[in-house]
Amino acid sequence: MGDEQPPGRAARALRDVTSRAERAANMAALDPVLRAHRAGYPKSRLAPVRKAYEAAELAHRGQRRKSGEPYIIHPIEVTLILAELGLDTATLQAALLHDTIEDTSYTLDELRADFGDEVAVLVDGVTKLDGSRWGERAEAETFRKMVLAAAADLRVLLIKLADRLHNLRTLGFQPAHKRQRIARQSQELLIPFAERLGMYELKREMDDLCFSVLQPEAHAAIDTALAAREAGGRLLLDPAVRRLRAALKDQRLSAQVILHRRHLWAVHLDVGDHLDTLQPADLFRLLVLVDGEDRDCYIALGAVHTSMSPVPGRLKDFISLPRFNLYRALHTRVIADGGKVMDVIIRTRQMHRMAERGLAAHIHDVAKGQRADVAGRIDLEWLRRLLAWQNDATSADFLESLRGDLRPDLIAAFTTGGEVIPLPPGATPIDFAYALGPEIGNHAIGALVNGKLAPLHARLDNGAVVHILTADTARPSAEGLNAATTPTARLLIRRHLAAQQEDDAAETGRRMVADALAAAGMELLDLECRGVSGSVAGRLGYRELDDMYAAVEAGAVDLASLVAELTTDPA
């Protein structure tokens, strides 16, 4: 008996052994991250990544996720997503540490001292704001903070996207109401961010994961339907594939032809619940990957149109006119065997890599010295324009504008200098004006669209070249509000009209007070100059004279009582 350990010591010893074994398993989980990083950067040092892991593991030690697994597994999985996308060492360090400031006692100052400013800025950019302090505004203000950080370093968004992707993968362990909220928020804001940054590889998976949460029955039905039709669809489309391969060979063009299966959400958007109408061409896109330069894509296009009949008006040239999210390709629609209509996408292999990984591919190239400029190839003007006025925006206004700017169905309008301005379908010159900035929008009086005079309410077509006409004396109007379609334009016009209404009310109220004082043989201006009016306004609870005068116009302050106070005030 005397050799027995005190109560609890054996349990603690067993727990220590378990934790050591667990930590060893966690460390082994880091190996795929290190291998992926070394594959993307053969000369990279792995010690900085290990150091970040060790700090994160220590900070999160003892924490568990809803699944019961050690919390450190989440940052490891987030980092693996980014490593496989080819992100640099600093980004991987920040990904491993991304939850430490928010969920542990590790402080930002400590992190900065341990890992430097670059990693600290990235971690701070993705750290949520305290919900107990910000309340219902926490979500919007966190997004505002993230967007501000992303304007300085886009890697913040990539970490956030990887974080959300892994959270979506593990949503099954969350209660139903939280699953719905996270999936809906992802659809509204984060998936559009992925598309805007050209991250289609992430976007497709996030699309389908959100689909499975928000519409589980529809997701299951279309998943079953596609699985049942995939093999037969490939057989039916195989003759078209073989004919196209032969046509490419006739052109002496080296290219790979792939039947690319579409993801579930994309098919659902096309066919909805009408699964009985599902055709093989709904399941697949014909993807042509050309071994060559841009001009070889046009040769491949000729081969496509030689082997199959093109559908008039359905050619889209995103090589000559790239989309604003790095995407470049040729799209065409053709009629294949049996009258089947098929969509064909033609890209070089480099275009394909960019189409799948977007910004991540560019960051990888820059880090390896293969490309000098990332931001110059990405349209971030929409982000800069949003940030130009966001400091004065309410949380709700900011989110509404952000959702509008991230719509996936945008058209491209152009300045006369060639700058692309993404706008929603149905947008007008007044929307274009406010997209250029509040000052231009506030003073707009008309536009030249493709060189012709057009009113501010005219509808803009894709590819329109727009020059906004302004006048210093012009001001936003109710007509401009009716013409505006974008959240940003409508918010800024409403804000200006509200301010103008307040100014008008104050002017009317002041005139009422001046007339009443004049009837009593006194001058309002004299009382204002001597500080009498300001003293009375302060006693009534108004910080500004205009606020008091506006209250008079609204009837909130009795005119006779105010005149009595003004005439008896000792100031």
Per-residue pLDDT tens for 282-317? 889 999 999 999 999 999 999 999 999 999 888 999
The band of 3, judged by pLDDT with boundaries at 50, 70 and 90, is: very low
The band of 544, judged by pLDDT with boundaries at 50, 70 and 90, is: confident
pLDDT for 2 beyond 50: no
Per-residue pLDDT tens for 43-53? 889 999 999 99
pLDDT for 72 beyond 90: yes
Per the structure block, which two tokens stand in for 156?
């913040």
Q: Where in the chain are the domains?
A: 16-214, 218-359, 409-485, 495-568
Q: Which of 63-72, 132-141, 417-426 has the lowest mean pLDDT?
A: 132-141
- Between 48 and 126, the more confident residue is 48
Q: Which of 134-138, 427-431, 463-467 has the lowest mean pLDDT?
A: 134-138
**Do residues 428 and 484 touch, judged by C-beta distance below 8 A?**
yes
* pTM listed for this prediction: 0.72
Please report the sign of the dihedral spanned by the C-alpha atoms of residue 356, residue 359, residue 364, residue 365.
positive
User: If one looks up domain 218-359 in CATH, what number appears?
Assistant: 3.30.460.10
In this prediction, residue 138 carries a pLDDT of 60
Q: Is 103 a catalytic residue?
A: yes
- Between 545 and 298, the more confident residue is 298
pLDDT for 123 beyond 50: yes
Q: Catalytic residue, from 103, 317, 381, 400: name it.
A: 103
Q: Which of 104-113, 253-262, 400-409, 551-560 has the lowest mean pLDDT?
A: 400-409
- Between 123 and 400, the more confident residue is 123
C-alpha 233/C-alpha 257 separation (Å) is: 16
Q: Catalytic residue, from 31, 102, 291, 392: name it.
A: 102
Per-residue pLDDT tens for 526-535? 787 878 888 8
The band of 390, judged by pLDDT with boundaries at 50, 70 and 90, is: low
| Residue 72, helix vs strand vs coil | coil
**Is beta strand 452-454 parallel, antiparallel or unpaired with respect to 341-348?**
unpaired
- Between 547 and 7, the more confident residue is 547
Same fold, 16-214 and 409-485: no
In this prediction, residue 288 carries a pLDDT of 95
The band of 4, judged by pLDDT with boundaries at 50, 70 and 90, is: very low
- Which class would CATH give 409-485? alpha beta
Per-residue pLDDT tens for 474-517? 888 888 888 888 877 888 888 878 777 777 777 888 888 888 88
The band of 7, judged by pLDDT with boundaries at 50, 70 and 90, is: very low
In this prediction, residue 372 carries a pLDDT of 42
Query: How confident is the prediction for the chain on average, in pLDDT?
Result: 83
Per-residue pLDDT tens for 434-454? 888 888 999 999 999 999 999
Per-residue pLDDT tens for 167-210? 999 998 888 899 999 999 888 888 988 888 888 999 999 999 99
User: What's the chain's length in residues?
Assistant: 571
C-alpha 462/C-alpha 420 separation (Å) is: 11
C-alpha 265/C-alpha 254 separation (Å) is: 32
Helices (H), 170-263: 176-185, 191-196, 200-214, 216-250
CA 231 to each of CA 234, 235, 284, 491, 528: distance values in angstroms, whole numbers, following the listed order? 5, 7, 11, 51, 85
pLDDT for 404 beyond 80: no
The band of 68, judged by pLDDT with boundaries at 50, 70 and 90, is: confident
Percent of the chain residues topping a pLDDT of 70: 84
What φ, ψ does residue 114 adopt, rounded to 5°?
A: -80, -35
In this prediction, residue 199 carries a pLDDT of 87
In this prediction, residue 530 carries a pLDDT of 78
β-pair partners for 447: 454, 468
For every residue of 318-381, which 3-state class applies, written as one string? Answer: CCCCCCCCCCCCEEEEEECHHHCEEEEEEEEHHHHHHHHHHHHHHHHHHHCCCCCCCHHHCCCH
In this prediction, residue 373 carries a pLDDT of 44
Nearest one of 439, 504, 503, 428 to 472, comparing CA atoms: 439
In this prediction, residue 540 carries a pLDDT of 84
In this prediction, residue 18 carries a pLDDT of 53
Q: Is 99 a catalytic residue?
A: no
The band of 100, judged by pLDDT with boundaries at 50, 70 and 90, is: very high
- Which class would CATH give 16-214? mainly alpha
Per-residue pLDDT tens for 150-165? 767 888 889 999 999 9
Average pLDDT over residues 87-97: 94
CA 387 to chain centre: 13
Helices (H), 2-129: 9-29, 31-40, 47-60, 73-84, 89-97, 100-103, 108-115, 117-126
C-alpha 463/C-alpha 112 separation (Å) is: 46
In this prediction, residue 332 carries a pLDDT of 94
What is the 8-class DSSP label of residue 65? -
CA 267 to each of CA 78, 207, 327, 486: distance values in angstroms, whole numbers, following the listed order? 28, 11, 21, 28
The band of 377, judged by pLDDT with boundaries at 50, 70 and 90, is: very low
pLDDT for 109 beyond 80: yes
- Angle (CA) 148-150-151 rounded to 5° is 65
- Between 132 and 274, the more confident residue is 274
